[in-house]
Each structure stands twice: as C-alpha cells, then as structure tokens.
Amino acid sequence: MEIIDNVGAPPELVRIIHEEAKDCDVTQVIFGAFIPGLHGDKGAFNPVVGSIIIDLGACIVDKAWMKKGIMFIPCVWFNLLMTAFHELTHAVQLEAEPELAGLDALPQEYEDEATEIAERRLLDWVKEHPVPKLSEMGWVGEQLKRLLNRLYAEMPEAVIEEVDLQGTDIVARAVDAARASKEYGTEEKTALLLKQIDEGMVGAKVGDRKYLTAYEAIDLDYVQHKTWED
Ligand SMILES: [Zn+2]
C-alpha cells in the first residue's frame, strides 16, 4: 500500500492505517487538507482504484464530538481515527460486494455500518492508547497549536486545560459530558457520576477537577447503564 502525504499526517494515524489496511484491498491512502473535490467531507473511498482520501483539514473543522462535551484536541483526533476506520470499512464492504462500486453513492445502511464499525474500532483504540500530544500530530498538531494560541485571548483557562491534558486519556470535563448525555442530564444523575469519580470507580481527577476518559466520554450513556446495574 502506498501513502501519499501532501500535508504531514500524524505518524500514529499512518501506523494505524498500515495495520488495518492489511486486511483489505486498499492500494493507496492520500492525505490532504481542504481538498475541493471532497466538499467538506472528512474522507472518501474510490473503489475503482482502491484509494482512500483523508482530509486532515476537514477533520480539524468538524466539531461534532464537542457536542458530547469532549475537548477540542481529542475531538480532532477522534475525527481522524473515525474517518480512517470508516473509509477502511467501505473498502471491506466493496471487496465483499463489488457490484456496489457501480452506484453513485452507497446505500445508507452501508454508511451506517461503516460508522458503527468505526466507532467500535475507535473505542478499542482509546482503551489501549492516550490521545497523542500536539507535537506528535504532524501538520494537524501545528494547526491546533495556532488555533489554541488564537483562542487563548478569549478563553485562557480552557486552552491551558487542553494543553495540560494532552498526551493523556482524559478528554472531557465530567460535568460537560454529563450535561450533553441523553440520560445523565439531570442534576441527580450528574451528582452520582461526580460521586463515582470521587470514589475512583470511573473517570479521573486532576486537582479538584473531575474528568472522563475517552472510553467513557465517547459513549457515556453506555457507561452509565453499566454503572446503574451495579
Ligand atoms: Zn461513508
């Protein structure tokens, strides 16, 4: 498999792709930033030539994970991993059903499956690894440093927090993640979560601040059901 890196992809992302692409027919992975042909999409798979394109710029811009209370740096990192896993799943899908390549767009169920598998692979990865530091994220890290510098004037505390927590598996303030979760939103349940963090059952504490790890924050409702049953 050939890697064409026009920008400076994070080395860990390249490593993951090499590892995962062993099991499918991907011939080429191209990294770019703000690629006009992608119209803002974070990635694409071309079944004709077997190539995956990953748009590092679009992965920085998409803030969807922040709606779950997840901080900026991990939000971008999760976008990169999800995009890689999602497009790799399309490669596997098209290998299994080559006739799909004739369609203009994949049916929704294939998109849903790719996203679901990508999230599972992301959860597997975060269980084993901390989010890389900015200095380990190549061009993406450089862009994030610039953006955080600019944000510092507006929200110095949040920026310092992001920078201090880099390289760990801590990705969200517990209160923010609870507020954004479907079932954790009430004051009572948020209080229970904070108590569980105090007792060392979930999350992490830095000083007085209570946080959630990546594995917990990505799917807090799932974690919540588990702890409720205990
Ligand atoms: Zn897709």
Provide mean pLDDT across the span 88-105. Answer: 92
Q: Is the pLDDT of residue 230 over 50?
A: no
Expressed in angstroms, the distance from the first to the final Cα of the chain is 47
Domain final residue, candidates 77, 101, 128: 128
Provide mean pLDDT across the span 111-123. Answer: 95
Distance 85 CA to ligand 1 centre (A): 10
Domain final residue, candidates 109, 128, 147: 128
Distance 92 CA to ligand 1 centre (A): 12
Domain boundaries, position 199: 170-230
Residue 145 lies in a domain: no
Please say whether the beta carbons of 193 and 174 come within 8 A.
Answer: yes
Distance 111 CA to ligand 1 centre (A): 5
Q: Is the pLDDT of residue 40 over 80?
A: yes
The 10s digit of each residue's pLDDT in 145-201 is: 999 999 999 999 999 999 999 999 999 999 999 998 887 888 999 999 999 999 999
Distance 121 CA to ligand 1 centre (A): 15
- Location of structure tokens 């079944």: 47
Distance 123 CA to ligand 1 centre (A): 19
Please say whether the beta carbons of 3 and 12 come within 8 A.
Answer: no
Residue 158 lies in a domain: no
Domain final residue, candidates 98, 113, 128: 128
The 10s digit of each residue's pLDDT in 46-67 is: 998 999 999 999 999 999 999 9
Q: Is the pLDDT of residue 83 over 70?
A: yes
Please give the pLDDT value at position 185.
82
Q: How many structural domains does the chain have?
A: 2
Distance 110 CA to ligand 1 centre (A): 8
Q: What is the CATH number of the domain that holds 93?
A: 3.40.390
